[in-house]
Amino acid sequence: MTHSDLARRIHAASHLTGHFTLRSGRTATEYFDKYRFEADPVLLDDIAQRMLPLVPTGTEVLAGLEMGGIPVVTALSRHTGLPCAFVRKQAKPYGTCRLAEGAEVTGRRVLVVEDVVTSGGQIVLSTTDLRSLGAQVHEALCVIDREQGGADALAAENIRLLSLLTAADLRTAAAA
């Protein structure tokens, strides 16, 4: 399977048109419904396999962001053999009361894993939280970079964005 084949499959599974309000507050007429590609076990496994070479050397923990990053990080963990943490938007007020569940992040090199990046806002917030727990976070990895300023916002916080695909990749593959 080529990069273009995967892009075409993701586009076919998740591309919607209409009027959508994004997490960033921006509106869009094009939307990639991440749950559609995350809910397909064969497609999700193929995505994780293609993300494998993008995981930086020295990564000790994969940290998936609530909620869309959780299926991606779990699938990627299967391929890398690395443990994963599940990062909440805020710590729950009961049980363990932890922000990051699963693998310990303190003192470890952590790769943040997200599904779709637009502004990068949630990655910035979650990375700040992870760093306050003692995690060493230098990169974030996503399935789709919508190319709407996320990489620049992350760079301003010393986080390098790695992406499997961009919105342009998906449009190009769909047009082919």
Binding site feature residues for orotate: 118, 146
- Indicate the annotated binding residues: 23, 88-89, 92, 114-122, 146
Distance between CA atoms of 76 and 143, rounded to whole angstroms? 11
- Indicate the annotated binding residues for 5-phospho-alpha-D-ribose 1-diphosphate: 23, 88-89, 92, 114-122
Of 174, 147, 145, 166, nearest to 16 (Cα)? 174
127-132 contacts, C-beta under 8 A, 24 or more apart: 127/157, 127/159, 128/157, 129/87, 129/99, 129/100, 130/63, 130/87, 130/99, 130/100, 130/105
Residue 114 amino acid letter: E
